[in-house]
A and B are shown apart, each in its own frame.
Chain A
Amino acid sequence: DMKVTQMPRYLIKRMGENVLLECGQDMSHETMYWYRQDPGLGLQLIYISYDVDSNSEGDIPKGYRVSRKKREHFSLILDSAKTNQTSVYFCASSSPTESSYEQYFGPGTRLTVL
C-alpha cells in the first residue's frame, strides 16, 4: 500500500519557536516535495529534494529549510516561526521512472503560529 505519512497532523507554536515537520514514504521514491496550501492560493512549492542531500529551492523557500538524510524521510524546518507561516503543509513524493509523473501527497500538517 503506497503511502506518504506526515507528523504531526496538527501543531500550535508561538512566534519565534522552532518547528519541525516530518514526512515519510514507503515507495522508495527518489523525489520528495514540501508545499504549503493557503486559501485562494492553491499549493505553493517550498522545496524539492531529488534524493538524499540533494535539495533545491522551490518558489517560496524563504524562512524554511529542509533535511533529507534517508531516501524515505524528508523534514521541513522553520527556524523562529512567524505568524505568516500559519498554513497547511503537504509533503509529496514521486519517481522519475513512473510514466504518470504522479505526485503522491500526504494528509497534511495544519500549523498555527500564534
Chain B
Amino acid sequence: QQQVRQSPQSLTVWEGETAILNCSYEDSTFNYFPWYQQFPGEGPALLISIRSVSDKKEDGRFTIFFNKREKKLSLHITDSQPGDSATYFCAASAGGSALGRLHFGAGTQLIVIP
C-alpha cells in the first residue's frame, strides 16, 4: 500500500500566489522527508528536505512545514512563478541502513498561470 500520500493530485494557481502541497505518511520510523521536483521529460531533482527533528525548513520561496504528531507535512511555494510548473513528489525514509530507501508519494502536478 502507499506509505506516502499526497494531495491534491493537481493544483492550479495564479502567478504570485502561494501554492500549498500536502503530504502524509504511515510509518512512524520515517525521519527524513525530501521533496523532489520533476519537469516533463526529465528525472526528479531534490528541491528541499527536512528531518523529523525540525518542524520547519525554509529555502528561498520554498518552505516545508512538518507535524510529527499528525504525520503530516506540507510544501509551501510563495510567489509562485510559471517556471515552478512541475510535478512535486514527497518522499520519506527511515534512518540508518534504510536511509536510501525512499518511499515516494504519487505526486502533485502544479500549474502556475501567468
Report which A residues bind B (CB closer than 8 A). Answer: 4, 31, 33, 40-45, 48, 58-59, 90, 92, 94, 96, 100-103, 105-108
Contact = CB atoms under 8 A, between A and B. Distances in A.
Interface of B: 2, 4, 6, 32, 34, 36, 41-46, 49, 89, 99-107
Contacts of A92: 43
A96 to B, nearest CB: 7
A102 B43 contact: no
Q: Which 3 pairs across A and B sit closest by C-beta, in order of nearness?
A: A105-B43, A42-B104, A43-B104
Nearest to B99: A101
B44 A101 contact: no
Q: Which of A33, A101, A102 has most chain B Cβ within 10 Å?
A: A101
Contacts of A94: 100
B89 A43 contact: yes
Given A100-B49, A101-B34, A45 B43 contact: no
Contacts of A107: 41-43
Contacts of A40: 106
A43 B89 CA distance: 9
Given A42-B89, A42-B106, A42-B107, A31 B45 contact: no
Q: Which of A41, A42, A58 has most chain B Cβ within 10 Å?
A: A42
A82 B105 CA distance: 25
Nearest to A88: B43
Contacts of B6: 42
B100 A103 contact: yes
14 contacts: A33-B100, A41-B106, A42-B4, A42-B105, A58-B101, A96-B99, A96-B100, A100-B46, A101-B34, A101-B99, A102-B34, A103-B46, A105-B43, A108-B42
